[in-house]
Amino acid sequence: MIALRHITKRFRDGERQVEVLRDLELTVPRGTFTAVVGASGSGKSTLLYVAGALDADYDGEAVVAGKDLKALSARERAAFRNASVGFVFQSFNLLPALPAVENTMLPGLFVPPGSKAPSLGQLRGRALEALDRVGLADKAARLPGRLSGGERQRVAIARALLSRPAVLLADEPTGNLDAVSGEAVIQLFSAMVRDGVTVLVVTHEERVSAAAGQVLHLEEGRLR
Amino acid sequence: MRLRSLVHLATLNLRSDARGTVVNTAAACVGAAALVFFVALGMGVGQAARLMFPGDARLVEVVPGAVSLGAALGGGALDDAAVGRLRELPGVEGAWRRLSLRVPIAASRAPEGVRMNWPVGFTVQVPVVGVDAGLVASDLAPGGKFVDPPAGQAIPVLASRRLLEVYNKTIAPAWNLRRLPPGLDLVGLQIPVQVGFSIIPLKTEDKVYDARLALAGLSDRVPLYSLAVPVETVRRLHVEYGKADAGYSSVVLEVGRPDDVPAVASAVRRMGFAVDEGERAIAERVGLAITVTAGALALLALLMTALAALAIAQSLSASVRGRTRDIAILQSLGATAGDVRALVLAEAGLVGLAGGVVGVGIAWAAARGVDAAAIGLLPDFPFRPTTFFLFPPWIFALGVGVSAAAALLGALAPAALAARVDPARAIS
Ligand SMILES: Nc1ncnc2c1ncn2[C@@H]1O[C@H](COP(=O)(O)OP(=O)(O)O)[C@@H](O)[C@H]1O
Ligand SMILES: [Mg+2]
């Protein structure tokens, strides 16, 4: 589950301080699908980076997948992202030079020392499985540039699934997709929720929120 | 991040930027090639020079001091008492006498058993020097003896190893004479001579008789244009011909450690004798010149390697700046700052290794090319080496190691730059 308490995030803009999140509270119960809707610039991405331990510079308390993020070192945050979080972005964020299967394998390369690391062969097998689950087994060898937007986003989802994370965080996952591809992505999220994954999607599109169990609105740094 | 994963990802990244990889590998390879080429050249030429000028760093040649001064001090002459005192000097392990023969000896026929087109009526004066057997013991052919023989038997002689080379490479071709076979095949060769005969009529002694010299070996400790016989033989001939022995021509001191040579030399001078720097000084000067030249070239090569490291640093920095988003993506997937740093270093390290291997190969090929060209272009001269390069196994490790180290050094700043990427800023 995701529990954010009294989260305040400020950006320094020259002399001025801009408060993007203001004493924000958020609870996403385990195995549920929550959508946060807000206008562009309202702080949705900022919220997601806090929950995903990409950003550690904020006030308040964040407990995600059983970890108090404030208590983690930079190295532990990386291990946390590797093991417990799957990210999906509007712009897919695939490495353009790597074929789909290599992109999908990436999280397996950063398994921290101490935990059991799969061999490259095992990793490839797991990546192909994940690609199969999103319906792209036959396009595993393709470079991202030779895939459609919807296919790229499904590769990104396969990559997010590789480490079987407890939490999936998606930032405008359908923003660059046509209606049909967007629907497929939402279907995949729903399937993950059924498997017990906690899903938090931030978006400004109503069609995503339709599939969510909880829809919250981000306005003036707070959720309502 | 495990090494296997690191290498996997680094390889993928290098492959995806094939152009940059080739350019950086070329930069790394130029430095490694130059370094290995010049170091191998320096060592090869050094070895050739040591064959040409086999100066022994542990030998000190003592000669009589200036006559007037020596007489005044009661010293000067290198007699047996002086040899005894020289032998007692600290650091000296052996004192070997040399005595030039003052009775002329000449050869007017070819050595026995050698098919040689000896010119008719041609007589060579043979300069002879008597030496202690100890000085040349290690150069004697197996089983050979270097002692004054009973009357009527052949006198053992040692020739300069270099004389054979000089004869074969310059004298024989110039005079259209047959070349002699290599060293050991010549041992036992008997040379008929006339004792007491000189090509200068005035110097011919009243008594002239036939004798034979038998080659007992080749030595670097024999002066280039003379033959060495046992010192006792010289003394016997001097007695036979009524020549007074005022003292030895020189005494060769063998010093235990080369570092002690200067101290021994000054002790010798304090005793009223002089030190003949001759051959050793030449060898040292040649060796120094080669070391300095090779060192300067190697330094130049190191400079090229440093420039290669700078070029790699430059291009890697640009590459890291262009990849901040990719780096942030890796961080979102669990890469630590250390992983990111290691990845950039691994990419550079692989480029350095590849450049080093290619560079060493190029250096080796270039050396073979130079050797082949030299054989075609240079005339045959004494001690002409078959190769001007020396490639001991460690030189390959040196080339690859220096290239990899330079690439890693160049990658330090770009790697730090990469490790500082803030994922929350760079990912969107
Ligand atoms: N690194 C930053 N420095 C300064 N201001 C920032 C930074 N990142 C985001 N912001 C500001 O914070 C606000 C929220 O940004 P963001 O969370 O990206 O909004 P959203 O995702 O809802 O469009 C915006 O006004 C943006 O300009
Ligand atoms: Mg956003």
Per-residue pLDDT averaged across B329-337, rounded?
97
Is residue A157 pLDDT above 90, yes or no? yes
pLDDT at A58: 96
The residue contributing the CA closest to ligand 1 atom 10 is A11
Asked if the Cβ–Cβ distance from A54 to B332 is below 8 Å, we say: yes
Beta bridge partners of A188: none
Q: Give the gap in angstroms from C-alpha B309 to the nearest C-alpha of chain A.
A: 26
Asked if the Cβ–Cβ distance from A87 to B332 is below 8 Å, we say: yes
Is residue B184 pLDDT above 70, yes or no? no
Q: Which of B13, B325, B424 sits opposite A54 (nearest CB)?
A: B424
pLDDT at B52: 74
Torsion of CA B154, B159, B164, B170, to 10 degrees: -110
Instruction: Render pLDDT for B201-220 as a digit per residue (tens, 0 to 9).
Output: 888 999 999 999 998 888 88
Using CA coordinates, name the residue in chain A closest to B427: A93
A136 touches chain B (CB under 8 A): no
Asked if the Cβ–Cβ distance from B1 to A110 is below 8 Å, we say: yes
Report phi then psi at B148, rounded to 5. -65, 120
Say if CB B415 and CB A46 are below 8 A apart. Answer: no
pLDDT at B115: 67
**Rounded to an integer, what distance in angstroms lies between the CA atom of residue B398 and that of residue B360?**
9
Q: C-alpha angle with apex B83: B80 to B87, nearest 5 degrees?
A: 140
Ligand nearest the Cα of residue A20 is 1
Per-residue pLDDT averaged across B366-373, rounded?
94
**Rounded to an integer, what distance in angstroms lies between the CA atom of residue A107 and that of residue B329?**
10
Distance spanning both ends of chain B, measured CA to CA = 25
Using CA coordinates, name the residue in chain B closest to A79: B334
Report CA torsion sign: B323, B328, B331, B333: negative
**Rounded to an integer, what distance in angstroms lies between the CA atom of residue B321 and that of residue B161?**
66
Per-residue pLDDT averaged across B75-91, rounded?
87
Q: Backbone dihedral region of B387: left (phi > 0), alpha (psi from -120 to 50 degrees) or beta?
A: beta
**Which residues, other chains included, contact B249 with Cβ-Cβ below 8 Å and sequence gap of 6+?**
B63, B78, B98, B99, B100, B129
Give A163's contacts in chain B (Cβ within 8 Å).
334
ipTM over 0.85: yes
> In the block, which residue shows the tokens 């030449």?
B282
Interface test with A, best of B1, B3, B5, B7 (most A CBs within 10 A): B5
For chain A, how big is the Rg over CA atoms in Å?
Answer: 17
Asked if the Cβ–Cβ distance from B329 to A110 is below 8 Å, we say: no
Which candidate, B371, B427, B416, B406, places its Cα nearest to that of B48?
B371
Q: Give the gap in angstroms from C-alpha A209 to the nearest C-alpha of chain B.
A: 22
Is residue B69 pLDDT above 60, yes or no? no
Cβ atoms within 10 Å of A75's Cβ, excluding its own: 13
**Rounded to an integer, what distance in angstroms lies between the CA atom of residue B414 and that of residue B167?**
62
Q: C-alpha angle with apex A64: A60 to A68, nearest 5 degrees?
A: 55
pLDDT at B185: 67
Q: What is the mean pLDDT of chain B?
A: 87
Per-residue pLDDT averaged across B98-123, rounded?
83
Which candidate, B35, B20, B34, B33, places its Cα nearest to that of B312?
B20
A93 touches chain B (CB under 8 A): yes
Structure tokens at B169: 């490479």
Pocket probe for ligand 1: among A10, A13, A16, A18, the residue whose CB has the most ligand atoms within 8 Å is A18
**Rounded to an integer, what distance in angstroms lies between the CA atom of residue B228 and that of residue B221?**
9
pLDDT at B68: 45
Instruction: Render pLDDT for A64-110 as a digit per residue (tens, 0 to 9).
Output: 999 999 999 999 999 999 999 999 999 999 999 999 999 999 999 99
**Which residues, other chains included, contact A16 with Cβ-Cβ below 8 Å and sequence gap of 6+?**
none
Q: Backbone dihedral region of B144: left (phi > 0), alpha (psi from -120 to 50 degrees) or beta?
A: beta
Stretch among A13-22, A121-130, B135-144, B162-171 having the lowest mean pLDDT: B162-171
Stretch among B138-147, B319-328, B365-374 having the lowest mean pLDDT: B138-147
Give A83's contacts in chain B (Cβ within 8 Å).
334
Sorted by where each starts, the structural domains of chain A and their CATH numbers stand as 28-55+73-223 (3.40.50.300)
Asked if the Cβ–Cβ distance from A107 to B334 is below 8 Å, we say: yes
Q: Give Cα separations from B157 to A109, B150, B226 (angstroms).
A: 77, 15, 10
Residues constituting chain B:
428
CA A19 to ligand 1 centroid distance, Å = 10
**Rounded to an integer, what distance in angstroms lies between the CA atom of residue B282 and that of residue A96?**
66
Closest atom of ligand 1 relative to the B424 alpha carbon? 1
The residue contributing the CA closest to ligand 1 atom 9 is A46
Report phi then psi at A82, rounded to 5. -65, -40
pLDDT at B375: 83
pLDDT at B279: 67
Q: Which of B2, B330, B336 sits opposite A106 (nearest CB)?
A: B330
pLDDT grade for B70, boundaries at 50, 70 and 90? very low
CA B414 to ligand 1 centroid distance, Å = 28
Q: Which residue has the higher pLDDT, B77 or B296?
A: B296
**Rounded to an integer, what distance in angstroms lies between the CA atom of residue B308 and that of residue A90?**
41
pLDDT at B73: 52
Q: Which residue has the higher pLDDT, A47 or B63?
A: A47
H or E, element range at A24: strand A16-28
Say if CB A67 and CB A84 are below 8 A apart. Answer: yes
**Rounded to an integer, what distance in angstroms lies between the CA atom of residue B111 and that of residue B204?**
22
pLDDT at A174: 94
pLDDT grade for B75, boundaries at 50, 70 and 90? low
Instruction: Render pLDDT for B237-291 as a digit per residue (tens, 0 to 9).
Output: 999 999 887 789 999 999 888 788 888 988 998 888 888 877 667 777 777 888 8
Helix B18-52 / helix B3-16 crossing angle, nearest 10 deg? 100
CA B34 to ligand 1 centroid distance, Å = 53
Is residue B169 pLDDT above 90, yes or no? no
pLDDT at B84: 92
Q: Where are the domains of chain B?
A: 3-54+284-427, 59-277
Regarding the beta carbon of A21 and ligand 1, being less than 6 Å apart is answered no
Give A55's contacts in chain B (Cβ within 8 Å).
424
Distance spanning both ends of chain A, measured CA to CA = 19
Say if CB A53 and CB A218 are below 8 A apart. Answer: no
Is residue B428 pLDDT above 90, yes or no? no
pLDDT at A95: 95
**Which residues, other chains included, contact B140 with Cβ-Cβ below 8 Å and sequence gap of 6+?**
B146, B158, B216, B217
Whole-prediction pTM? 0.77
pLDDT at B111: 80
Is residue B233 pLDDT above 70, yes or no? yes
